[in-house]
A and B are shown apart, each in its own frame.
Chain A
Amino acid sequence: MMDVMGFFDIVLALALPWLGWRLLASSDLFRAVVLFISLGLLMSLTWVRLQAPDVALAEAAIGAGLTGALFLSALRRLERLSESERRLEHAGKREEDETIPPEKRRRAKPVAYVLSLFLLVVFVLLLGWSLGQTPGAKGGLGPAVAGQMGQSGVQSQVTAVLLNFRGYDTLLEMMVLFLAALGVWSLTRVRQTQQGEVPGPVLATLVRLLVPLMIIVAGYLVWIGSSRAGGAFQGGAVLAAAGVLLLLANVTVVRQVPAGLLRWALVLGPLLFLLTAVACMGGGGNLLEYPGQSAGVWILFIESATAVSIGVTLAALYAGGRPPAPSAPEKDNEEGPGSGVDKGGKA
């Protein structure tokens, strides 16, 4: 049994860089993206092999799934853009040099190419050598974490680190996610969806069946996160997948979400997290120092809120722009933080 697993490890470890190489070398971008997604899935397997189930879940959902979806939609958009450009060129009879395929450009300078490859190999060997030289640091902070688990309020060590011991990191990470949504919204707005793109009956049924199921799974993942693999990010990612499905199916209800509500849903998680962190100071504690024995409750509260926002944010990232209609946020201000629940129920 061990031998089989050992062989599997070797294949996996070799397959990862090979896939990476292939995907960068492939001349077809679509193929590269597909290879990237499969690489993500293999990474996820690797995480399982390395006893990191939390990471595996997150990698599968976010690293492979959502990132892949993002790449695919960007690719589609790029192709559409270049098509319209080509049409424009033909119409205007404008002569312009065709884009040189990257491979030709690369081969144009073989010396530099070989040199950079050589440098990289040296870099890898040097680093590998130094990694082999130095013994690992005896478990790192593992013992420290294990020693304090009793006061963390949760059973899962990873969740304890994420939301208690190093909760501040996670708070800032939520800000990164929020920032990404801000960035995407500030850059573009979603193009008007064509009315013709009505989902086929199969997709519509699938959506109707899958989306509620996904929401339940997401809730379960958040709940289970306190003791086993799972948590806000994994749950949020599943919620996001539901959102992506809805967007793909072009369900009318997605387009009818009021802009203000959407904004509140994006903000909900980070805002509640931040307020909770500050509220912890009310009792004389430090920032994010959950009072007394109630850490578990607080963590669950934060996780639920952030999961909703993560889901909405990731879906918004997939949508790739701010809502098309000029937003009128002042209309929806009276709807408080509770509106996040509506978002869940609406689907």
Chain B
Amino acid sequence: MPDTAFWAVCLVVVPLFFALICFVRSDQAAVLGLLAAGLNALAALAMTVFFVRSGPLRYAIGGWQAPLGINFSIDGLSVLLVAMTAVTGLSVSMYARGYFSLRIGSAGEINRHGHQRAFFWPVWLLLWGALNGLFLSADLFNVYVTLEIIGLSAVVLTALSGKPAARLAAMRYLLVSLLGSCSYLFGVALLYRSYGILDMAALARLISPAPLMWASLALLTTGLLLKTALFPLHFWLPPAHANALAPVSAILSGLVVKASFYLMLRLWGDIFAQVLPFAAYVLLGVLGCGAVLWGAVQALLQKRLKMLIAYSTVAQLGYLFIALPLIRLDPGSSAWEAVILLIMSHACAKSAMFMAAGSIFLKAGHDRIDDLAGIKEVLPISSFAFVLAGVSLMGFPPSGGFVGKWLLLGVSLAGGEWWWGVMLVIGSLLAAGYVYRVASRLLVFKVTFFSRRQSIPPVMEWSAVLLALLALLLGLLAGYPLGLLEAGSPFPLHACREVMP
């Protein structure tokens, strides 16, 4: 009898299964991959529907209840993030299908790019399965394993491009990822040592201030901050995201960094929330401010489109961290909702942006921003997608980014800490600056534009524009996803605690 849990299991099992099959039948990889993406989206939809009906739930894998076994914890937050992954993943998959067919189709490059397609699909599906697993899991060590899959597959995908810069970036990414997961594992080990438990919800009840707890929290946080690329630790992100293949960039910027931030939310928003002092949140918020400023300024200085987008990711991640002190400040749940909206809208917008940039790159043969004037004539839809996504990133109404910003602004003003709100507004003005740098070129029309290739498959252009549109309309539809959060629980984990036996 299919129910929420069944579909949750499907969300993990289906991508993994298809990853294995894709590897064996590499000639059919694209078809299988798209099939998996479709099934995954279906499962996410079904799970959401059942979740709305029956509410949050814990699922004991292997029939072993929490302290001994690994449990899924399906609450509003996980459902939303899984759904976000499904939507973004589906359109990236469709984009990738067009992308790789194009690269293989062009004469003389068959040998070079054949293996890119063959290996992209299984690795991407593994990554997808691990993302779903991470969002659903309630076990700290299990989360470590999924984090490892995510990190390693992200590195492999980055290196897939084969260019020297991409390889160096992948190497750096791998080392950072190693350091991050090692630190995280250390934290988990120390937590297990002091509490003898790995389940998040159970842990949240046991947490009490002690030296070892602080040590483990510091280690966990450091590891996750490295992986999320918060401001001073962001150095690895721009080269990796900018030098990867276009669908890979979309995945990395849209989804992968969200995984570790999601864990930050769980840790700082729930598990450790009772013991953490406000000053710690402020510290993260200040780093977030740094990220917003530094990322935006760097983005303004970039000459290459993909580097600009990558630095914009650094800045946008800063937003999410600015939200952390506000979550703490907020007596209600609107800061939570804002963060989730920001995450979702950034996932859609940034993926769409990288996808559009990839199409532009393929068409123009380069991504020097200054030489892109007139590309609108040959790639109207992709240019439009880019601008739409940019509008979302700027936090313009009615995008999801706007509603998120609005809610955070309200919280910061109501809480008397208006400077966070001002930072948000300054950040969006800077974002407007760097989006404008590109958009002003894209919107201009010139009579002729030299283009390298004849045609970009329509699926590449349309998948990007639809995703960008979704990001823009997310604000208008915000009530539905956030209602889901309310239906489950205003605060992600609290309701589960009651359900837990």
Contact = CB atoms under 8 A, between A and B. Distances in A.
B63 interface: yes
B196 A139 contact: yes
B148 interface: yes
Interface centre among B20, B130, B148, B155 (most CB of A within 10 A): B20
A274 B63 contact: no
A93 B156 CA distance: 36
- Counting contact residues on chain B (CB < 8 A from A), the size range is 35 or more
A77 B195 CA distance: 46
Given A130-B211, A130-B212, A175-B149, A168 B70 contact: yes
B48 interface: no
A192 interface: no
A256 interface: no
A131 B160 CA distance: 42
B24 A148 contact: no
B215 A287 contact: no
A57 to B, nearest CB: 21
Interface in B136-151: 141-142, 145-146, 148-149
Interface stretch (A81-89, A246-254, A262-270): A262-270
A182 B194 contact: no
B192 to A, nearest CB: 6
A166 B62 CA distance: 8
B447 interface: no
A186 B24 CA distance: 14
A144 B67 contact: yes
Interface string B56-69: 00011111100111
A223 interface: no
Given A137-B192, A176-B149, A270 B123 contact: no
B130 A134 contact: no
B180 to A, nearest CB: 15
A260 B146 CA distance: 28
Given A169-B142, A172-B133, A329-B26, A183 B148 contact: no
A285 B70 CA distance: 15
Contact of A186 (B17, B70, B145, B160): B160
Nearest to A164: B62
Contacts of A233: none
User: Interface of chain B, helix or strand or loop or mixed?
Assistant: helix
A165 interface: yes
B168 interface: no
A266 B23 contact: yes
A100 interface: no
Nearest to B215: A130
Nearest to A184: B156
Nearest to B146: A172
Interface in A97-124: none
B16 interface: yes
B193 interface: yes
A330 B214 CA distance: 55
A218 interface: no
Interface in A136-162: 136-141, 144-145, 148
B147 to A, nearest CB: 10
A183 B68 contact: no
Contacts of B60: 286
Nearest to B27: A330
B56 to A, nearest CB: 17
Contacts of A175: 16, 19, 126, 129-130, 149
A180 interface: yes
A127 B19 CA distance: 41
B27 A166 contact: no
Contacts of A182: 23, 119, 122-123, 126, 156
A183 B64 contact: no
A141 B196 contact: yes
Given A127-B215, A130-B212, A186-B123, A286 B159 contact: no
A98 B9 CA distance: 55
A295 B154 CA distance: 35
Nearest to B13: A278
B214 A168 contact: no
Contacts of B194: 134, 136-137
Given A137-B194, A175-B16, A286-B59, A264 B24 contact: yes
A286 B63 CA distance: 6
Interface in B1-49: 5-6, 9, 13, 16-17, 19-21, 23-27
B156 A183 contact: yes
B460 to A, nearest CB: 22
Contacts of A267: 20, 23-24
Nearest to B195: A137
Contacts of B152: 176, 179-180, 183
A169 B141 contact: yes
A197 B100 CA distance: 39
A141 B67 contact: yes
Contacts of A186: 115-116, 118-119, 123, 156, 159-160
Contact of B214 (A130, A165, A286): A130
A172 B67 contact: no
A178 interface: yes
Given A183-B155, A187-B156, A141 B142 contact: no
Nearest to B64: A165
Given A175-B126, A176-B149, A186-B115, A133 B211 contact: yes
B210 interface: yes
B153 interface: yes
A277 interface: yes
A187 B122 CA distance: 14
A21 to B, nearest CB: 18
Contacts of B305: none
Contacts of A294: none
A140 B196 contact: yes
B317 interface: no
A145 B67 CA distance: 10
Contacts of A270: 16, 20
B214 to A, nearest CB: 7
Given A166-B69, A329-B24, A134 B211 contact: yes
Interface string B393-409: 00000000000000000
A137 B193 contact: yes
17 contacts: A127-B215, A137-B193, A137-B194, A148-B64, A169-B70, A169-B142, A172-B133, A172-B142, A179-B153, A183-B153, A186-B115, A186-B159, A274-B20, A281-B9, A286-B63, A287-B9, A329-B27
Interface of A: 126-127, 129-131, 133-134, 136-141, 144-145, 148, 164-169, 172-173, 175-176, 178-180, 182-183, 185-187, 260, 263-264, 266-267, 270-271, 274-275, 277-278, 281, 285-290, 322, 327, 329-330, 333
Interface of B: 5-6, 9, 13, 16-17, 19-21, 23-27, 59-64, 67-70, 115-116, 118-119, 122-123, 126, 129-130, 133, 141-142, 145-146, 148-149, 152-153, 155-156, 159-160, 190, 192-198, 210-212, 214-215
**Which 3 residue pairs of A and B lie closest in terms of their CB atoms, listed nearest first?**
A137-B196, A130-B211, A186-B119
Given A137-B195, A287-B13, A287-B59, 11 more contacts: A130-B212, A145-B68, A167-B62, A176-B148, A180-B152, A186-B119, A271-B17, A271-B20, A289-B63, A330-B25, A333-B24
